[in-house]
Chains A and B, each alone.
Chain A
Amino acid sequence: MGRFLLKRLVQSAIAILGTVTLIFFIQRLAGDPTLLMLPEGATREDIEILRHQLGFDRPLIVQYLEYIAQLAHFDLGQSLVQRVPVADIIAARLPYTLCLAAGALLVAVGVGLPAGILMAVRRGSALERALMALVLVGQSMPTFWSGILLIMLFAVTLGIMPSSGVDGVRSVVLPAIALGALTMATYARVARTAVLEELERDYVSTARAKGLSFRRVVTRHILRNAATPIITISALEIANLLAGAVIVETVFAWPGLGQLAVQSIAARDFPIVQAIVLLSAFVSIALNLVADLLYSVVDPRIRLEGRA
């Protein structure tokens, strides 16, 4: 276990360094990043002054090393518009996005897993077809369109839900449904495939022959064995939820990181955009690490493979 953990930790560290490097060079794609940070119509002198202030007139390699050094100290820089540390701004917004993502995950797992399991167990039934239709709709509906429809139905027409903004616990319901729909579809699909695969195994016939009820075979044996693929996609899906929040938060005027990212692009506040992208990449790398460790616990074969 120790070597497996060490190997995965080193891989994650490399992934983080690579991500930071990639983001750094993306910012240099257009040449001078000073131009991104000034309002349109800035004079040549303004540009020169800011370029010198921010150190963009130095060699690229010096800038890169300093950037790495700053990040190593968890220094995300200052907002160009608000003139306060980026970390403070992000810390104020983060709870809202976490709350939204948690709600969406609840919707996705709460609906997706049972739907997927039912689809596998009741293969070929009308119920399977109905659930498959739900999955396809969840997968094909753009979040901004389902968001608008949810607002029109529950907030405007029925008047039972707040239409946007944050106003108590109820206001997270609609955005969580809109955000969770796609993830719900993924969970349902993966759970269906995983359970179908397990249903064909010999141990299922053995357990049935022993006289175990079908329900018991599913809950006691199949679900435990089908857990690995479900854990694996959870890491990816939580990261996807954070990214999806960009659009959902814009539709519902939800004051989280996604809305902040869009606002910051419009305001040309580049350090904030960069910090949000880095943060979500780190979260995604960390989640993948956790998922790997988790299923090495669930499935010992993976751990042994890492040692070999």
Chain B
Amino acid sequence: MTTADVTPAADPGALARMARELRPIAPFLVIFLCFALLALLASAIAPYNPNTQNLLARLKPPGTAVRGIFYLLGTDEVGRDLLSRLIFGARVSLSVAMLSVCVSTLIGTLLGTIAGFYRGATEIIIMRFTDIVLSIPAILLAIITIAVLGPGLQNVVLVLGFTRWPRYARVAYGQTLAAMGLTFMRASAFNGASAPRLILRHVLPNIAGAIIVVATLEFGLMVLFEAGLSFLGLGVQPPTPSWGSMLSVGRNYMGTAWWIATFPGICLFLLVLSINVIGDRLRDRLDPRSGR
């Protein structure tokens, strides 16, 4: 695989090739972009305030109008518009996932690159520490940390970011070791390039593909983790709408008001599914090892 296959070039042949590449995953790209748009423009798109309660309109089924207010997807147990809450929920879900992926990518890539670059004692200490964090199941590590720090959006981002970096560190470490062996790296070092310069100019561009693949796959997991923590009451706190906490409330009403849990459940599934499919495709293209 050459880099020309990955980066879109200006000539029409490349564009056509890219279109052909994206075709099989087009529906999933559309789903993901829809959620991203909902998240970005939540305040403009949502018909009502997601937190406004209307006790006269509690548990109304989808398509009900109460006093001139139309509830397309129905209302929840305190009469809030479900559609508006779902739209703002997309914002919570995607921003938590995005931020925590950024935090863990940063930490993991930095540590992994340093370990692979300097070798020796630095390498041993960093990689052993990586193994330790990796050996504690992430959700439990997140739970115990949130139990100490308290729940809330900010803490969820920090906790997920600080517990999920070892996978990036492992990949960055392995890729850096490989990159260090390349002839041009040795030539650069021989010519007196400084360590930060070598890392920034030569190592990082070489390992970026592998890191992006991990980040995409982790992104879907982060969405699930945030929803799971919120489902347990340890994530985003009410009244902030989160799909996980909406599901948690909704499951008590499954017999009488199925829509409360069903719509967030479907959104969550579709979002994670689209991320996973896109991630798979990226991995097939960028990670030469799985291309076979």
User: Which residues of A line the B interface, CB within 8 A?
Assistant: 11, 14-15, 18-19, 22-23, 26-27, 29-30, 33, 36, 136-137, 139-145, 148-149, 151-152, 156, 193, 196-197, 200, 239-240, 242-244, 246-247, 250-251, 261-262, 265-266, 270, 273-274, 276-277, 280-281, 284-285, 288
Q: Evaluate contact between A149 and B128: CB separation under 8 angstroms.
A: no
Complex CA–CA separation, A288 to B220 (angstroms): 25
Q: Evaluate contact between B147 and A265: CB separation under 8 angstroms.
A: yes
Known: A29-B148, A142-B224, A152-B254. Contact between A276 and B136, CB under 8 A? no
What's the nearest-Cβ distance from chain B to residue A247, in Å? Answer: 5
Q: Evaluate contact between B132 and A19: CB separation under 8 angstroms.
A: yes
Q: Evaluate contact between B273 and A250: CB separation under 8 angstroms.
A: no
Q: Evaluate contact between B137 and A243: CB separation under 8 angstroms.
A: yes
Q: Evaluate contact between B254 and A19: CB separation under 8 angstroms.
A: no
Complex CA–CA separation, A247 to B235 (angstroms): 13
What's the nearest-Cβ distance from chain B to residue A287, in Å? Answer: 9
Is B141's CB within 8 Å of the partner chain A?
A: yes
Q: Give me 26 A-to-B residue pairs in the complex whose CB atoms sit less than 8 angstroms apart, sorted by A's number.
A: A11-B128, A19-B135, A22-B136, A23-B144, A26-B145, A29-B145, A30-B149, A137-B273, A141-B272, A142-B227, A142-B244, A142-B265, A144-B228, A144-B244, A144-B248, A144-B251, A145-B268, A156-B254, A193-B290, A243-B138, A246-B139, A247-B231, A247-B232, A266-B233, A273-B147, A280-B136
Residues of A within 8 A of B220 (CB): 140
Complex CA–CA separation, A34 to B276 (angstroms): 42
Q: Closest A residue to B251 by CB, please name it.
A: A148
Q: Evaluate contact between B132 and A142: CB separation under 8 angstroms.
A: no
Tell me which of B131, B147, B292 has the highest count of chain A C-beta atoms within 10 A of its own C-beta.
Answer: B147
Given contacts A18-B132, A30-B149, A144-B251, 8 further A-B contacts (CB under 8 A): A30-B148, A36-B148, A140-B272, A243-B137, A265-B143, A274-B144, A276-B140, A280-B137
Complex CA–CA separation, A14 to B124 (angstroms): 12
The DSSP consensus for interface residues of chain A is: helix
Q: Evaluate contact between A148 and B247: CB separation under 8 angstroms.
A: yes
Q: Closest A residue to B234 by CB, please name it.
A: A265
Contact partner, B140, options A151, A261, A266, Cβ 8 Å: A261
Is B277's CB within 8 Å of the partner chain A?
A: yes
Residues of B within 8 A of A285 (CB): 135
B140-182 CB mask vs A (1 if < 8 Å, else 0) is 1101110111100000000000000000000000000000000
Residues of B within 8 A of A23 (CB): 136, 144
Q: Evaluate contact between A136 and B273: CB separation under 8 angstroms.
A: yes
Q: Closest A residue to B264 by CB, please name it.
A: A145
Residues of A within 8 A of B251 (CB): 144, 148, 251
Complex CA–CA separation, A262 to B228 (angstroms): 12
Q: Closest A residue to B273 by CB, please name it.
A: A140
Q: Evaluate contact between A149 and B265: CB separation under 8 angstroms.
A: yes
Is B129's CB within 8 Å of the partner chain A?
A: yes
Q: Evaluate contact between B137 and A242: CB separation under 8 angstroms.
A: yes
Known: A23-B144, A29-B145, A29-B148. Contact between A250 and B232, CB under 8 A? yes
Is B133's CB within 8 Å of the partner chain A?
A: yes
Q: Closest A residue to B150 by CB, please name it.
A: A30
Tell me which of A136, A156, A196 has the highest count of chain B C-beta atoms within 10 A of its own C-beta.
Answer: A136
Q: Evaluate contact between B265 and A148: CB separation under 8 angstroms.
A: yes
Residues of A within 8 A of B231 (CB): 142, 144, 247, 250
Q: Evaluate contact between B269 and A22: CB separation under 8 angstroms.
A: no
Complex CA–CA separation, A19 to B265 (angstroms): 35
Complex CA–CA separation, A30 to B67 (angstroms): 48
Residues of A within 8 A of B148 (CB): 26-27, 29-30, 33, 36
What's the nearest-Cβ distance from chain B to residue A41, in Å? Answer: 16
Complex CA–CA separation, A136 to B276 (angstroms): 8
Is B255's CB within 8 Å of the partner chain A?
A: yes
Q: Evaluate contact between B137 and A145: CB separation under 8 angstroms.
A: no
Q: Closest A residue to B233 by CB, please name it.
A: A266
